[in-house]
């Protein structure tokens, strides 16, 4: 039963991430902020859940990550191309 719940939660997070990335490319921090705003604080997704979801989606070929410069000119990864 716990395994089914974990798969359901993973699938739900994957769908939320895909929906947000359809709107615009984003990095992990942007995604967590967007989830907070869209859910009006009801969902609090931590990086320990988000980054595995991004890796899962990338491994399945659903998204492609890319590297670029952040606002402070540091190298940063944004996940896009849904």
- pLDDT for residue 79: 60
Task: Check residue 75 and give its pLDDT.
Answer: 80
Phi, psi of 64 (to 5 degrees): -125, 130
Query: Are the CB atoms for 43 and 49 separated by under 8 Å?
Result: no
Q: Could you give the percent of the chain with pLDDT greater than 90? A: 45
Spatial distance between the Cα atoms of 82 and 58, rounded to a whole number of angstroms? 9
Domains, the chain, in order of start with CATH, read: 2-80 (1.10.10.10)
Q: Pick the closest to residue 80 from 62, 69, 37, 70 (CA basis).
A: 62
Residue ranges of the chain with per-residue pLDDT less than 70: 1-10, 78-82
């Amino acid at each position: 039963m716990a395994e089914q719940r974990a798969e359901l939660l993973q699938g739900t997070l994957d769908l939320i991430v895909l929906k947000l990335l359809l709107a615009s490319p984003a990095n992990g921090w942007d995604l967590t902020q967007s989830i907070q705003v869209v859910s009006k604080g009801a969902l609090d997704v931590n990086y320990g859940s988000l980054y595995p979801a991004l890796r899962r989606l990338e491994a399945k070929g659903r998204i492609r990550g890319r590297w670029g410069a952040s606002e402070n000119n540091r190298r940063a990864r944004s996940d896009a191309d849904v």
